[in-house]
Chains A and B, each alone.
Chain A
Amino acid sequence: MGSYITKRLMLSIPLILIISFVTFAFIHLSPMDPAEVVLHSQGIPTITDELLAQTRAKLGMDQPFLTRYLNWVASCLQLDFGDSYITGKPVWSMLGPAFLHTVKLTLVSSFAIVALSVVLGVVCALNAGKWVDKSVRGVSFFLTSMPSYWLAALLIWYFSVKLDLLPTSGMESYKSYILPVVVITISYAGIYFRIIRSSMLSNMNEDYVLYARACGLPEKRITMHILRNSLQVAISVFCMAIPIILGSTVVVENIFAWPGLGTLSVKSILSRDFPIIQAYVLVLAVAFILFNTVSDIINAALKPQIRDGF
């Protein structure tokens, strides 16, 4: 098991390097002159050639591409992602808090998604084909297909404006979490509960269930066994859900004025704040690789064939 984990982790290092190179190369392939971007984003109304040359030198744009890339990687390893073009502040001082805000939202939402998916998945599997199953699947299908910005606006209108129970936006108290979490949960739980439901259904036909029944085990305990086996399949899916949500909260953050990664990344993309975009892509890539590895490790722990076959 230990060697498997080491191998998986070692494999992720070249992957991160490739991602970092592609990100860096793509951004520098863009036809925009970073010096001009810096000056535009600082709101300087008129840009002179002298100012451009000065800014290029300051950004190190006069060095060859590879040197710039290696310098960037070297400083990234020390958690120094450079300075933002717009604010001039260190990238990490902007990305850090935004990352933390999104992580909070993501973790609370993931918990809600797991809880709701398990409950709905079990209820539907136990009542497969009955009206409960059909109606839950119907309603969830309807809700999942709703665009999240629309759902968010509806919820704000009803719970914040009409009933005056919750704040419309912002991140001021625990109440601020409720609406964004509900929106994210509705968008994702509809997908994940189906995974649990179908895996429960396939497990129900396994021999061990028949054997357990034959041994006279109570139905409750049999259900627990089925659930445990079904969850093993779902766990890797849930692990991957975390980075997916982390990278896709843009719409929800925008509507709820949540100062997280989504808001920051969109803002940086619109203003072409390259150092932040690079760091954002890198952080998300690392999150994906990390959670992917964790889910592989969990799978390997559950099914020895996987780690033996590696």
Chain B
Amino acid sequence: MTRNMGFLLKTFMVSIVLLVGCSNGDTEKTKSADTGKEIVYATSKDINDMNPHFYSGSMPAQGMVYESLVENTEEGIKPSLAESWEVSEDGKVYTFHLRKNVTFHDGELFNAEAVKQNIEAVQSNASKHSWIKLSTKIVACNVLDEYTVELVLSEPYYPTLVELSMTRPYVFISPKNFVNGGTKDGVSGYNGTGPYKLTEHKVDQYAVFEANENYWGGAPRVKKITAKVLPAGETTFLALQKGEVNFVFTDDRGANSLDVEAMNQFVESGEHQMIRSQPMNTGIVVANSSKSESAVHEKAVREAFWHAIDRETISKQIFDGTEQVAYTLFSSNVNYANVELQKRGYDLEKAKKILEEAGWVIGSAGEFRTKNGKPLAMKLYYDVNSSTQKTQAELIQNTVKRIGVQLEIIGEESSSIANRRSTGDYDLLFNQTWGLAYDPQSTIAAFTSKSSYYHTTRGIAQAEELYRKIEEVMVSTNEEHRKSLYADILTIVHNEAVFIPITNGRVTILAPKNLQGISFKQTQFELPFERMYFE
């Protein structure tokens, strides 16, 4: 028996040595992060499937590799892969003149044929892209000559250029990477035209992007960018201290792996800098107006709830002043959103008055209000992975208690919250607008969509009028008319208090002090790494 056990033990040891030996011998790949030549950023998730015509990939990573025809900038739409374009009189035909001498990372030429093939690949999977209304309007994509391509729409659609500029799906991958003549069954490689190319990817470990030396806009100065997967915030903090990673930023779900205090600590140490973008989106509480059995169905309750949120304290205490108070669904720097709306601030007395007038009274029984024997109780759902939403929920729970509202707060996974939003199984939940490039048109289009804000808007008095106006604004060709329609839409949802704004979200970057040229795009989902350089 002893001999047998000895044999077992020896086998066990040999197998361990063999197994461990199987792991690759790359020693300390990421240690060079602090040499000041490359960026190693921490990300909580793997870059995932980089197929640019799907939605599961990491958007900042896709943004480095792929490009669109046009770019959305602060000054409006600017050329990217298309040098110039014309729109026909009737607004149905867009003709693009492509940039010459642009190649994909695999050496293939970027030309009109490649554009046509990519757009057709997206359109052949149209049902997946129906959220982007342009996908329902494209009728044909025709090659006019090697570098000219025209896009034919079924009807005029004013956000065409904005939607073409988005991170996905209208971006271009080498047709050589197509599988079965398209991209919906997957792709065989990830060759875009962007400033960086994906050179190595170890699933759930890291992904390496190297500078595209032939980039049409000039080779990027930071030659290597590594995305290192660090699921735990504590490890990110320690890895930053050690220098294994040197860059962190707000991820595409709007969550920061480090809280404001931790970032400040790095800034104070003198080796890092913190840079914040302009307001990119609005953090909101969405109220389910269509849930008739809940108190949230009543406009007065929603209005009182709006008045009972102490945004100043949330901004100062929870966000340490890094996010500014928001009183409207879209901040005024968003297109068409500079509309005069009644300001509802933090005012508990007013909130109490609104509830009293609506018949919600505090009885002798207890501290919470009732109406016809029904208690004023609601549920607020928040994302458990967000470090700030829970704290905000607790603060709100505490303040609404003072006006006699019983608020139960429940933390759930983001996918579960998305599910509640689409099935209407909620009273109140945390959400955010989609961001500059998507606001207002995509967020507003989502008011009518079952999987988005349909339940939020369905129960309001002017629902039909709202939906009609939304439909109209998307196809309107007259700028003044469009402005007035947007103003009407925003006024209706504001008056009905179904989207309760809290603060304006921004993208935060923590980077080495000697990294210069850090800027932002018109979207919270991408960063222009190609403009950055080390001093």
Q: Could you tell me which A residues sit within 8 Å of B by CB distance? A: 32, 36-37, 40-51, 54, 86-88, 94, 97-98, 100, 103-104, 107-108, 111, 149, 153, 156-157, 160-161, 164, 167-177, 228, 231, 235, 254-257, 259, 263-264, 267, 270-272, 301-302
- Residues of B within 8 Å of A98, CB to CB, are 204
B242 near A160: Cβ-Cβ < 8 Å:
yes
B235 near A156: Cβ-Cβ < 8 Å:
yes
Known: A51-B128, A157-B238. A259 touches B203 (CB 8 A): yes
Instruction: Say yes or no for B304: interface residue by CB 8 A criterion.
Output: no
- Residues of B within 8 Å of A172, CB to CB, are 23-24, 26-30
Known: A108-B16, A173-B23. A168 touches B238 (CB 8 A): yes
Known: A49-B450, A257-B231, A264-B204. A167 touches B28 (CB 8 A): yes
In this complex, the member of A45, A50, A108, A174 whose beta carbon has the largest number of chain B beta carbons within 10 angstroms is A45
B56 near A231: Cβ-Cβ < 8 Å:
no
- Residues of A within 8 Å of B1, CB to CB, are 228, 301-302
From B26, B45, B204, give the contact of A173 (CB < 8 A): B26
A42 near B128: Cβ-Cβ < 8 Å:
yes
Instruction: Say yes or no for B365: interface residue by CB 8 A criterion.
Output: no
B127 near A257: Cβ-Cβ < 8 Å:
no
25 example contacts (A-B, Cβ-Cβ < 8 A) are as follows A37-B415, A40-B418, A42-B128, A43-B56, A44-B128, A46-B131, A46-B452, A51-B130, A86-B56, A88-B186, A98-B204, A107-B15, A149-B232, A149-B234, A153-B234, A153-B238, A156-B234, A168-B242, A169-B244, A170-B228, A173-B23, A228-B1, A257-B232, A264-B204, A270-B413
Known: A42-B128, A167-B244, A174-B20. A257 touches B230 (CB 8 A): yes
What's the least CB distance linking B32 to chain A, in Å? 12
Q: How far is the CA of A195 from the CA of B31 in the complex (A)?
A: 42
- Residues of B within 8 Å of A270, CB to CB, are 413, 415
A256 near B235: Cβ-Cβ < 8 Å:
yes
From B16, B132, B202, B413, give the contact of A111 (CB < 8 A): B16
Known: A87-B56, A103-B19, A168-B242. A48 touches B28 (CB 8 A): no
- Residues of A within 8 Å of B336, CB to CB, are none
What's the least CB distance linking A8 to chain B, in Å? 18
Closest to B241 in A: A161
Closest to B49 in A: A87
Instruction: Say yes or no for B140: interface residue by CB 8 A criterion.
Output: no
Known: A44-B55, A170-B206, A263-B204. A111 touches B13 (CB 8 A): yes
Known: A44-B131, A47-B451. A87 touches B230 (CB 8 A): no
- Residues of A within 8 Å of B186, CB to CB, are 88
Instruction: Say yes or no for B2: interface residue by CB 8 A criterion.
Output: yes
A164 near B242: Cβ-Cβ < 8 Å:
yes
Instruction: Say yes or no for B173: interface residue by CB 8 A criterion.
Output: no
- Residues of B within 8 Å of A104, CB to CB, are 16, 19-20, 22-23
Known: A40-B415, A161-B241. A174 touches B229 (CB 8 A): no
Q: How far is the CA of A88 from the CA of B48 in the complex (A)?
A: 11
B12 near A107: Cβ-Cβ < 8 Å:
yes
A54 near B232: Cβ-Cβ < 8 Å:
no
What's the least CB distance linking A269 to chain B, in Å? 9
What's the least CB distance linking B432 to chain A, in Å? 13
Q: How far is the CA of A232 from the CA of B55 in the complex (A)?
A: 55
Q: How far is the CA of A40 from the CA of B451 in the complex (A)?
A: 9
- Residues of B within 8 Å of A49, CB to CB, are 450
Closest to B442 in A: A45
Q: How far is the CA of A271 from the CA of B2 in the complex (A)?
A: 49
Known: A45-B131, A161-B238, A259-B205. A168 touches B56 (CB 8 A): no
Closest to B434 in A: A45
Chain B, 49-77, contact with A by CB distance < 8 Å: what is the 0/1 string? 10000111000000000000000000000
B27 near A46: Cβ-Cβ < 8 Å:
no
Closest to A51 in B: B127
A173 near B28: Cβ-Cβ < 8 Å:
yes
Closest to A270 in B: B413
